[in-house]
Structure 1
Amino acid sequence: MNFPAPSPPTPPPTADASPAAPLRWTRLHASQLAEVHEAEQRLGITLSGRGGGAADEENRCLLIPITLILRQPEQYVEANLLIILAPQEVITLEKDLRLPALDRIEWKLSLPDYARDASARMLDLLDELNNDTHETLDGIYTALEDLAEEAQQATGGFELRGRQAGVADIADTAVALGEAEELIARSIEGQLDLERALRWAKRFYGLQEADRHAAMLHSDIEGCKRQLRFQHEKIRNIQQSLMTTLDLKQNQVIKVFAVITAIFTPPTLVAAFYGQNFAYMPELALPWMEWAVIALTGISALLPLFYIVRKGWLR
């Protein structure tokens, strides 16, 4: 029986125009409902309601979602961007925030001497988005330095106010480290989105692997991603140190009570014995026996303490 040969895989859509053709860029925001609807009608695609996820192909257009973590003056926010690669046109749809990277690209396009082809301008767009991630990385690095100092105070034993750092101090630092870990994880996902967008852009514009601009951008994205992973490992080390310190502090509390019990149990037993109301205790009639009982009580407390100190359990 002869089976038909499998059909070759469908290649990704490519731009009809040459990469050297000028780039027509349309910047849209989700709040511009009329403009978004017009772009949908013109390209025959659906833009409304699209979220993150994998890149999609629709009517010879590539739709690439990107989610980035941006550094704001007082916080870090998540920004969603949808890049639509269409023949002879690129559309960027901002879902919430206006991205500073697109502001810079818009300014560059207004310059009369900014004469670059479509593929180079697309790479410039991705490069500016990656620069925003670098700013986020700088903020994360500064925040981790502060968290490392807090962790050092929590694990060092005593803070400046003179009291020993307790479980509550370690717990607060651990929560802050968990939030920082989540922030870095989301930033790494943003770098993966940029890397994916770069691969699709290279296929769409037919760029070769040896293209210098694309290679440098890919190296920059990879470098930022490695730095984020390094900071992620740094957080893991600090968290491990905090958890180890917390275990040691809990063991210290248990050890203190165990030592107290070991020291005071023998004299308690002696005092309890001689405190009983027996009808006849002949040794109490001996001279100085009452003082001997007191001395026996003290010795029975000092012997366990001497043994514990000799074993080094109080260190």
Structure 2
Amino acid sequence: MLNVFTLDNGRLSGRPLQDDDLDNPDALADVRPVWVDLESPSAAEKRWIASRFGLTIPDDIVDDDLEESARFYEEDNGELHIRSDFLIDDDITPRNVRVAFILHNKVLFSIHDEDLPVFRLLRLRARRIPALIEDAKDVLLKLYDADAEYSADALEGIYDALEKVSEQVLKQQVSDQEAGAVLSAVAKEEDLNGRIRRNVMDTRRAVSFMMRSRMLNAEQFEEARQILRDIDSLDSHTAFLFDKINFLMDATVGFININQNKIIKIFSVASVALLPPTLIASIYGMNFKGIPELDWALGYPYALGLMVVSIAAPFIYFRRKGWLR
């Protein structure tokens, strides 16, 4: 999918490229775009970009195995290349999606494999707010600004989820089934928190690169500094959430250990309580002359009663000590 965005009375308006236009290099010749967004571009769309704008898009431009030096660089002809990760806070599979940006002849080209919430948010804002975007560099900065806000919203979601988990963990008793559900929920939030931290780190690097490249004017430079300040504020939140997640996991594992210790305690008490009747049974099972079974008619009932008493006495003692609770 290929969308071409232009500025119309200070607002960003998009126009998708039709399939019939792919074979016509002069399609949209009257349009002066500031942003060209390509989602999973086909070979025909890449050829149209090459013929219309003179830009060749490599097939591996959004691969994840790129070297660090290939993520931010500037060509000799002035093309600026930036590759960044953007967060998708999906309830099923939260993930980071690689996006490649190319700033070529005052037009921003973005290439990615999935539709991103940050991109949808920027398109919605730019249509409603006049003069929000003035050129291609503004589009890139606003994308990173929206990405920081999206990460902050995701962190708020983690706060809410952990608050519900805390109510389960900090109650008086936690069963093994509840502890398993808590560990699963905490692990999910820990994974999302780690992805947010990676996302804001990547955004910080990209914005810092833009500032070092001296491509921004004074107003854009100040906006980039504000984005970095927002990202710095998010770092403290992610660090706090990591500590809170570790506390909840330790507390949950502690409850699991307590439940297991209760089971082990029952076996320990039972084994100790059964030692006296076992001793009595062993003595009365010995083969020697004069045992009650031979000289006393009530020998067997006496032995069985003595075994019952030897079992009851330890349990009564353990109960008074509180060891059976």
Q: For 1:207 and 1:314, how far apart are their aligned partners in 2?
A: 75
- Picking from 94, 100, 105, the partner of 2:117 is 100
Once the two structures are superposed, the pairs formed by residues 250-261 of structure 1 within 5 Å of their partners are 250-261=260-271
SS in 2 for 1:156: coil
Amino acid at match of 1:57: Y
Answer yes or no: is the 8 Å Cα contact 1:40–1:47 preserved in 2.
Answer: no
Runs of 4+ in 1 over 6 A off after TM superposition: 286-292
Query: Which residue of the partner structure matches residue 65 of structure 1?
Result: 83
Deviation at 1:261, TM superposition (A): 0.8
Q: Which amino acid aligns with 1:142?
A: D
Per mean C-alpha deviation after superposition, the further-off stretch among 69-78 and 222-231 is 69-78
Residue identity opposite 2:270 in structure 1: I
* CA offsets 1:37-88 (integer angstroms, 9 cap, x no match): 4445746554422224532425343322222332347664543322223452
Residue deviations 1:104-163 (CA, integer Å, cap 9, x gap): 43355556941655454432221112222233223333333343344456x724xxxxxx
Amino acid at match of 1:193: D
Quick one: distance in 1 between partners of 2:39 and 2:292? 100
2:211 is aligned with 1:202:
yes
After TM superposition, the structure 1 stretch with the greater mean CA deviation from structure 2, 182-191 or 32-41, is 32-41
Partners of 2:316 and 2:288 in 1: how far apart? Answer: 32
1:48 match: 59
Which sits farther off after the overlay, 210-219 or 260-269? 210-219
Cα offset, 1:198, TM superposition: 1.0
SS of the aligned residue for 1:280 comes to coil
C-alpha spacing 1:213/1:296, structure 2 compared with 1 (3 Å): same
Secondary structure at the counterpart of residue 274 of structure 2: helix
Asked if the contact 1:191/1:221 (under 8 Å) is kept, the reply is: yes
Q: Structure 2 vs 1, CA of residues 247 and 272 (structure 1 numbering), >3 Å: closer, same or farther? A: same
More contact order relative to length (CA 8 Å, sep ≥ 6):
1
2:191 is the counterpart of 1:174: no
Aligned partner of 2:225 in structure 1 is: 215
Distance in 1, matches of 2:263 and 2:269, equals 10
TM-score, normalised by the number of residues in structure 1: 0.72
The separation in 1 between residues aligned to 2:321 and 2:152, in whole angstroms, is 54
Counterpart residue number, 1:127 = 145
- When structure 1 is superposed on structure 2, of 168-177 and 211-220 the one drifting more is 168-177
**Structure 1 position 184 matched with structure 2 position 193:** yes
Aligned partners of 1:148, 1:174: CA distance in 2, in Å?
Answer: 11
Runs of 5+ consecutive residues of structure 1 not aligned to the other structure: 1-21, 158-164
Secondary structure at the aligned position of 2:102 is classed as: strand
* Superposition RMSD in Å: 3.7
Alpha-carbon distance, 1:191 to partner:
1.1
Shift of 1:259: 0.3
CA contact (8 A) 1:101 1:128 kept: yes
Q: State how 1:141-290 maps to structure 2 within 5 Å.
A: 141-152=159-170, 156-157=173-174, 165-166=175-176, 168-204=177-213, 205-206=215-216, 211-275=221-285, 278-281=288-291
SS in 2 for 1:83: strand
208-217 or 138-147, larger mean C-alpha shift: 208-217
| 1:220 Cα deviation after fit | 1.4
Whether 1:81 and 2:90 are equivalent positions in the alignment is: no
Structure 2: how far apart are the matches of 1:262 and 1:112? 78
Taking a change above 3 Å as real, the CA distance of residues 106 and 300 of structure 1, as seen in their structure-2 partners, is: closer
Measured in 2, the distance between the counterparts of 1:43 and 1:190 equals 31
CA distance in 2, matches of 1:112, 1:292: 96
What SS is found at the alignment partner of 1:26?
A: strand
Q: Is the 8 A contact 1:82 1:94 kept in 2?
A: yes
Query: What letter is aligned with 1:192?
Result: M
Counterparts in 2 of 1:23 and 1:232: CA distance versus 1, 3 Å = farther
For the 8 Å contact 2:40–2:114, the answer to whether it is kept is yes
In structure 1, how many angstroms separate the alpha carbons of the residues matched to 2:50 and 2:59?
A: 9
Distance 1:250 1:111, change over 3 A: closer
Provide the C-alpha distance between the structure 2 equivalents of 1:47 and 1:223, rounded to a whole number of angstroms: 36
Aligned residue pairs, count = 284
